Amino acid sequence: MSRKYKFHNKSGIYFVSFATVYWIDIFVRQIYSSVITDSLNFCIKNKGMVVNCWCLMPSHIHLIFSAQHNNPGDLLRDFKSHTSKKLQKEIIDNPQESRKEWMLWMMERAGKKNSNIEGRQLWQQHNQPIELWSNEVFDQKMDYTHFNPVVAGFVDKPEHWKLSSACDYTGEKGLVDIVMIK
């Protein structure tokens, strides 16, 4: 990984994006997207994560966050590890999941290609953290995050995407307990 993409300032606010292996559209089902929103809220309440902005797309997530305990890398690693295990279990246990065998096979295939993984791999390894060092950069990354579902053609306005903090910034209450900046 390039030096450019590391958590150098442990107390900084970061923009990160990470995707499922092979860009598998896991989060088209509420049962799986709830794992992400519940896990974000758990990390906020119990692990010192401060989320300022987020958006969950069918195969990836964007976050603007910081870590109260100056451990953003550890926090993100633990989040990805927990959600990977939980999501795989949900997929395995879901009798209505028509894509189960295919998704698990893809995750197993990815895990076999990665010497750091035992078993299946759900998340791609890179996060590409970018420190948000100015209001201008923060605003650019927040707009990118919130407009992702609009650009993808899922909704006409960012606040219409329920798996995002865009509604919080328009006065509504979203699914994740964010700390608004502005």
* Dist CA 9 CA 58 (whole Å): 30
User: Tokens 């290609």 — which residue?
Assistant: 113
Residue type, 62: H
Q: pTM for this one?
A: 0.93
pLDDT of residue 1: 40
| H/E element, 182 | none
pLDDT in tens, 18-59: 999 999 999 999 999 999 999 999 999 999 999 999 999 999
**With 90 as the cut, is the pLDDT of residue 3 above it?**
no
In 75-173, the DSSP E strands lie at 130-131
* Partner residues linked to 14 by β-bridges: 65, 131
What pLDDT does residue 6 have? 72
Question: Which range has the top average pLDDT, 7-11, 55-59, 122-126?
Answer: 55-59
Alpha-carbon distance of 36 to 85, in angstroms, equals 12
Is the distance from CB of 26 to CB of 117 less than 8 angstroms? no
CB 149 within 8 A of CB 158: yes
